[in-house]
Structure formats: structure tokens, C-alpha cells
Structure 1
Amino acid sequence: MARPSNEFILAWSSLVSEDESSGWQAISLPPAGPIDIQAGRRFPDNTEAVLFCFPTISLPRSEKLPEGKGFLVERTQLSVHDGLCLALTRQQEGSPDLFASMVCDVVGAMDDASDNTASETSFLRIFLGRVRAWQQFMSRGAGPLSTEAELGLAGELYFMKQFLDAGVAPMTALNGWVGPDDAPQDFLLGEGAVEVKATMSSSGFPVRIGSLEQLDDSVTSPLFLAAVRFARSEVGATLPDLIAQVTQRLETEPGGVELLRERLMLAGYFSIHEGHYSRKFEPKEKRMFLVTRDFPRLTPGTVPLGVTKAHYELNLDHVADYFRDFSVILSQLGVMNDSR
């Protein structure tokens, strides 16, 4: 859970400098486990920062630290700390409000780890992972998802629930969810991959294929196409509702909720936009298909020479011969060996 923003805003507002000298001014805040946390300003730039001091571990000098639109992470030194100190600092062009939201989220993620007695190394991983998720989130404009992207994410979360409820190990499902990384398929699970599609069409079962690689089984096999048809209904679930349902299934898995939050940010979802997502999705039908050599599709190996990109629509009403039962698909992927 994110920390209250007032904790940081009040600390920053109390830090002032009457001269032009350089250096840090900082106020200690409640720690996250063994990690000392301070709200700070470095003068003469006078921009907001949060200092994270790790008492015993180090970071290779070759490690590239995150830097995004409006913020950066840098090493720094404080006279009262001998260990690794990292400063998460707002750049001049960065939005103060967005930076405050970022800080509250990052520190909140570390607070959550405190409840699980995480190691110092785990805190560093959480810190860097969360900041990098923000880095990618901001690179996409930091706005709410488009209507199409909202539908796509709803479909992926729907099948995430299906995998978890079927007994796929939570970390197997979460680590296999590679769609947020812009991978060709949405899930890499066990021996193969699953590409997820969602539609709200009431006529036929059309799905949009976004690239030549999405249904190409020459790289990853077996490859399955999983599709869900939603209807807009008052008894359905909003995107935040779907996220809450998946979160509930992960609450007993150490690190599971935190990893889900990171993946959601990489997918372009952030909780400050919850009010934007009011559409309710009611699943009406799901279908899963095995993609084989004769499956109707366009791939890099089947299009004419010179064609390098393609977007097309596929009507799943016409591929019934390739339908596979969900339990059979899980068996072919081999993920049930990791079941809880």
C-alpha cells in the first residue's frame, strides 16, 4: 500500500536553504525494514528527492540506474551513512504531483516487503524494479489506457485468473506473463506460449492480430490462441475489479502481489486512473485453439517477400477444428507440474 503523500510533501516543504551552498538537507522518515528513508533536497538545485540508504550491501558500478521522464536515480553519499545510498530525485521538468505519487508507490512497495521480513537484497530489488516500472510507465505518457488497451488487459487478467484457478503456480503464471514487456505472445508458460485476445463483438467472434509474430509457432511451440468474448453488463467487472480478483488469489504468495503491481505498471495501468475505468466486462464465452501449420494466419514465413508488418482480423467462428479443451492445453504446456 502506498504511503500517504503528505508525509513527503510536508518534509520537502520544511527543507529550505538561505545560502547558495551545495549539499543535501534531509529529514528522516519511518524506515522500510532495515532501509533508512529520508525526504531530502539537494542544493542549489532545490529539487525534491527521497534517499534510500542500504546499510550493508553494494551495487556494481557498472549497474545502470533508472532514469525516466522527470526523475533519475543516482548514487550519493551522506556523512551519517557508510552503506549504499541511492537518491530518487525529481528533475526540473518533472511534475511534482506525479513524482510524489511515484515516491509514495515505491516506498509503499518496500513497506509491504517489511511485513514479509525480506532481505536487504530483496529491498534493493523491489526498489529498482518498481522504479523501472515507473520508467516504462512514464515513457508511455503516464496517461490512462486507451479503450482498446483496456480491453486487451482485461482479457489477459481474465486468463490469468483461469490459470491460477486451474492450479498453475502463482509465480509461474506471473513470471510467464510477458505481454507487458511487449513480447510477441502474452504468456510464456512451461513448454510453450499463449496469445490472448478479447472482443466485445456480439456478432461472430472477431479478434485483432497485431503483428506477423503473434501467431508464429516457428519460434515457440506449442502455441495457443486464447480468446474471451465479453459483454458490457452491470453484473460484469471493471478493470480495477479484475485486478482486485487476481490480487486476492496472490495474497498468500510471497512477493506475488508486488510482482503483479509491477507487471500492471509495465502494461500501462496505474491506480491513480482507477476512476477512468468504468466499463464492466462480463465474460460470455472463452475459446482456446492450438496454432498449427494449417491454422489461418499471417507469419513472417508465409507472407510475400517485402511484407514486414501486418495487422489483420481473424474470425474464430471459422477455426473450430483447432479448438482444444483448457485442461488439455495446460497439460501440453506442462505447467501443471508446478501446481500448488
Structure 2
Amino acid sequence: MRGNQSPMSSQTFCGSSNMAALSSTEILGTWRALPGNASIPGWRSIDLFQSGTCRVKAARHAPGNEEAILIGFSSAKLAPTSQLPQGQGFRMERATLGETAGEYQWLAVVRQSAGNLELFATVVTDVCGLIDSSDSYPEELLYQRLLGRVRGWQEFMRRGREGLSVEAELGLVGEICLLRYLFDEGVPLFSAVDGWKGPLDGLHDFQLGTGAIEVKSTMAAEGFPVRIASLDQLDDSQCPPLFLAALRFGSNESGITLPEYVSNTRHLLEPDPAATRLFEQALLHVGYLDMQAETYTRRFSLGEIRIHLVDSEFPKLTPFNIPTPIRRAQYELDLALLPVDNCPLSDVLEKLGVV
């Protein structure tokens, strides 16, 4: 953040919590009401609302006349500017507001000069909605969610509007579903989310304790086909013991959408801000963005889950049991034809040394 800032000039716009939702048009009008190109460096702001212990202001910064939103925290520990989300139309930074700051620490989300103003107003409207709907959350949890939402918008601008493919949507539903089962079996929230490596392009979807779990999802009505993406995916020599968890979903009105899976999991993670941070980062890595949630309308109903130990008796292709000239392969495995027993998740976690 720039040094030698003068105290902020402040006007009151709406100081109460539980505000009516702000629109992009109102945000743009608020910025127009602020003095621009001031000769004295510093922030000019208008109070928007307060949610819980957090305060929110619309602002401009002189001398660059940059539109911004300021979020004040009374207790959360904030990262330095160098560790905050940067680029793709806007940036986030720590802000110094001078005497009027009181006991608050301030974060600024600031439009870059090349960023589209109308799109930035949409970003700010969404961020305001997130903060206002989180008035009962601890500040540290809200702070982590705010960082995730800002990174999500920057990723949205970088990736465009295509969203997840149908196959990737199903895969993410399956992995989140297994994550929820880990919670149910007593795996600590942070340990479970920290072990979720699928979104980070890990060799296996979950690395837990002394081994790993590979997750496969299908919507096939007959058989139990799962697609194996590489020769290494079921190579149990790299991370033993290795288990294959396969989930079969149906599609009906009683099912749950991907955004609902995400929202429900966020609710479960509320007691642990560190686990929440890892979960939000995983969603970004896999390409799930809240601003695309309305595109995911399919409802998934879990019909069956089976877990198998991948050992020397398990049918698989690996680099060590195929002819040497074959370097790469993908194949489909029908688990319905396997004679091996299904392993309860509780036994799997015990063998992994997790519980």
C-alpha cells in the first residue's frame, strides 16, 4: 500500500446491518458521488453498511481516482498485501485510513485502470452480498470466504464463462461426497480437506494417513463402469495401501446439485477457518466458481458406493504389467464384474491409520 496517506474523508450512505441488497447501479452511483482526482493523496469514502463486526465502504483513492470497496475487520488477522489476490481487472491490498480507521484493519478491493468498470461493480455487488449474509460468522471465517470469493472472480475473468464440463461436474460431486463421508467417520475437518488432492492434480484424489483413495463416479444404470485415466492411477506400489472408491449417481428431482453440495460442505467447515481456506482453494483449482453456480442444474442422487482395495489381485493396468513399448493408456473397468469384497469406509480409514 502507498505510504504517506492522508486521513480519509467520509460521508454516510447506509450505516445499518441487514441492508437491502445493493445493485450494481447503486454502487456506480455511489462512486460518482465521491470526489475524484483530489489533489491530496488518500481515500475518499462513503459508508455502505455494517454486518456483524465488519464495516463496508465505497471509496475512491487519490491521486489515481481508482474505484474501490473497503472492508474493515475488528479482530481478524489479515495477510500483508503481497499475499493477497492480485490481477485480472482488480487487486486486493491493505489500506491505511488514518485517524478515522479506529480499531479496524482495512482491506481494499481496487479496480485496475484496465479493468471494466461495470464488471467491477458486479464484483463489488457480489462481495457486499457475501459480507452482508455472513453477519453471524466469526471474522476469521468471513475473511477466508472473502479471499476465496475475490480469487474466484479473478479466476472467472481469466478462464472466461465456460465452467466445468459435464464429466468434471460429476467428478467434483463424487469427491465432495466422499469428503463428507470422511467427516461422518470422524476424520478431523482440516485433515480431511488437507488430504483432498484431486483438485490439485495429485496422483490420487485423497492422500490420507499411510495411503490413498482414488475416487470414481458414474451415472451408468447398468454395470458399474469407471474410467481409469492413466497407467499410474491404480499403481498401488507408489502409495500403498491404495483404495478405489466408486460412487454411482442417479439423476432425479430429489437429488442435490453441485452448488448445494458446495454450500452444505461450507456450512460443515464453518468451525475451522483453516479447513475453509483449503476447501475454497481446492474449488478454485478444479475450476468451480460461485458466479457460475446457476449453470449447474443437474441433481445427483447417490445410489451406491463401493470401495475396493487395489492390490496384486485387483485387475488393473500399470507400468509394470504391460509390454514395455506401451507408454500411455486409458481404460474402462467394470466393477460389477469383480469378485472382490466391498470394504466399509470405517475399515479403510483404520487401515490407512487415519482413525
| Shorter-chain TM-score range | 0.7 to 0.9
Residues 113-156 of structure 1, C-alpha deviation per residue, up to 9 Å, x if partnerless?
7635446xx76655545534544454443443211111111212
Q: Is there any run of 5+ residues in structure 1 with no aligned partner, and where?
A: none
The verdict on how the C-alpha distance between 1:219 and 1:46 changes in structure 2, with shifts beyond 3 A counting, is farther
Q: Tell me the secondary structure at the aligned position of residue 154 of structure 1.
A: helix
- 2:210 corresponds to 1:191: yes
Equivalent-residue separation in structure 1 for 2:351 and 2:109 (angstroms): 45
The verdict on how the C-alpha distance between 1:278 and 1:108 changes in structure 2, with shifts beyond 3 A counting, is closer
Q: Percent identity?
A: 40
- 2:299 corresponds to 1:280: yes
- 2:282 corresponds to 1:253: no
The verdict on how the C-alpha distance between 1:244 and 1:132 changes in structure 2, with shifts beyond 3 A counting, is closer
Question: How much has 1:14 moved relative to structure 2?
Answer: 2.5
Question: How much has 1:287 moved relative to structure 2?
Answer: 1.3
Partner of 1:70: 89
Question: Which of 178, 184, 192 is the aligned partner of 1:165?
Answer: 184
Question: How much has 1:288 moved relative to structure 2?
Answer: 0.8
- Whether the 8 Å contact between 2:152 and 2:289 is mirrored in structure 1 is no
Partner of 1:90: 111
Question: Which of 45, 61, 66 is the aligned partner of 1:26?
Answer: 45
Question: How much has 1:244 moved relative to structure 2?
Answer: 4.6
Partner of 2:234: 215
Which TM-score applies when normalising by structure 1?
0.76
The verdict on how the C-alpha distance between 1:19 and 1:67 changes in structure 2, with shifts beyond 3 A counting, is closer
Partner of 1:268: 287
The verdict on how the C-alpha distance between 1:221 and 1:13 changes in structure 2, with shifts beyond 3 A counting, is farther
Partner of 1:291: 310
Matched positions, count: 332
Question: How much has 1:198 moved relative to structure 2?
Answer: 0.8
Of stretches 203-212 and 2-11 in structure 1, the one that deviates more from structure 2 is 2-11
**Rg larger in structure:** 2
The verdict on how the C-alpha distance between 1:97 and 1:5 changes in structure 2, with shifts beyond 3 A counting, is farther
Partner of 1:115: 136
Residues 233-257 of structure 1, C-alpha deviation per residue, up to 9 Å, x if partnerless?
2333322343354455x17734489
Equivalent-residue separation in structure 1 for 2:83 and 2:89 (angstroms): 17
Partner of 1:229: 248
Question: How much has 1:97 moved relative to structure 2?
Answer: 5.4
Equivalent-residue separation in structure 1 for 2:294 and 2:331 (angstroms): 32
- Whether the 8 Å contact between 1:209 and 1:311 is mirrored in structure 2 is yes
1:297-308 superposed matches below 5 A: 297-299=316-318
Aligned CA RMSD, in angstroms, stands at: 4.0
1:109-188 superposed matches below 5 A: 115-118=136-139, 127-188=146-207
Equivalent-residue separation in structure 2 for 1:128 and 1:177 (angstroms): 20
- Whether the 8 Å contact between 1:228 and 1:286 is mirrored in structure 2 is yes
- Whether the 8 Å contact between 2:153 and 2:291 is mirrored in structure 1 is no
Question: How much has 1:37 moved relative to structure 2?
Answer: 3.8
Which TM-score applies when normalising by structure 2?
0.73
Equivalent-residue separation in structure 2 for 1:321 and 1:3 (angstroms): 58
Question: How much has 1:46 moved relative to structure 2?
Answer: 4.5
Q: Is there any run of 5+ residues in structure 2 with no aligned partner, and where?
A: 1-17
Residues 21-55 of structure 1, C-alpha deviation per residue, up to 9 Å, x if partnerless?
87543323335666654322335655432234567
1:53-64 superposed matches below 5 A: 63-64=82-83
- Whether the 8 Å contact between 1:68 and 1:138 is mirrored in structure 2 is no
* AA matched with 1:233: N
- 2:51 corresponds to 1:12: no
- Whether the 8 Å contact between 1:3 and 1:108 is mirrored in structure 2 is no
